[in-house]
Structures are given as structure tokens and as C-alpha cells.
Amino acid sequence: MFEYPDDLKYTNSHEYIRLEENIATVGITAFAIDQLGDIVFLDLPEVGTTVEKGQTFGTIESVKAVEDIYSPVTGTVIESNQELVDEPENIANDPYGKSWLIKVNIENPQEVEEALSVDEYRSKVEGA
């Protein structure tokens, strides 16, 4: 059983969004990290990169697979978690805290509202 904080929004591709004013902090969920297994590589965009909702912004590689990471919002990257790029194996330690991936200055707050609620996401991944 995984933890899914109530104050976040979620995507079908297992990213989460924490919205603080016009800044969206984006990461991947504990469920996704568990499915991937041991993370060995992480590729994230540079600060200043424009990301678009539904488009790939990076990749995460485990001993089992390489997966694209999709942006749940459109905007400009204002921060990229370089500590995690340097030590990707630490992503599982704190997925909803220190293990965020990027922070985006969003163009359209409505995009966040279109994401899944915690209950919708829990139903999706737990098959309830």
C-alpha cells in the first residue's frame, strides 16, 4: 500500500503535481518508483526549458526499463533537481518531498485542475 498525499494532483502516467501559486512542483509517484525498481539514471531539462502538457520532459532509467517522464502542465522550468540527477538511486527515499523532479512556472492553472484527484489516482493504481 503506497502513500498518496491528499494535497497533490496526479496523472495517468504517474506524475504528481504540487501547486503553490503559479509554481507546479512535478515528481513521480511512489507507485511508479516501485514499478521501476532500482533507479540508475535520470535525465531532466535545464532551467529555462519550456515544457508542454502531455509531452516528454525527461527520462528515468531503472535496472528493468527506461521510461519517459511527461509534463502534467505547460510552462517554463524554473528549477531542476540536480541532486537527484547526480544520485538517482535516492528517488525512492522521499518521492513527495526531496525527490521532486522539476518546478515549473505554469501558464494555465486550469491544467492542474484537469489532473486526477488522490481518490481517482488511488482507484487507478489499486484497481479499486
Q: Name all domains of the chain by residue range, CATH numbers in brackets.
A: 9-123 (2.40.50.100)
Mean pLDDT of 66-93: 97
Question: How buried is 82 (Cβ within 10 angstroms: 0-12 exposed, 13-18 middle, 19+ buried)?
Answer: exposed
Return phi, psi of residue 19, to 5°. Answer: -100, 125
pLDDT band at 3 (very low <50, low <70, confident <90, very high): confident
Separation CA 110–CA 112 (nearest Å): 5
Which residue bears the cell 504517474? 14
Cell of 80: 531542476
pLDDT of residue 119: 95
* pLDDT digit string, tens, across residues 85-117: 999 999 999 999 999 999 999 999 999 999 999
Reply yes or no on whether the pLDDT at 1 is more than 80: no
The pLDDT mean for the chain works out to 95
Task: Give me the phi and psi of 7, to 5 degrees please.
Answer: -85, 5
User: For the segment 22-43, what is each residue's pLDDT rounded down to a tens digit?
Assistant: 999 999 999 999 999 999 999 9
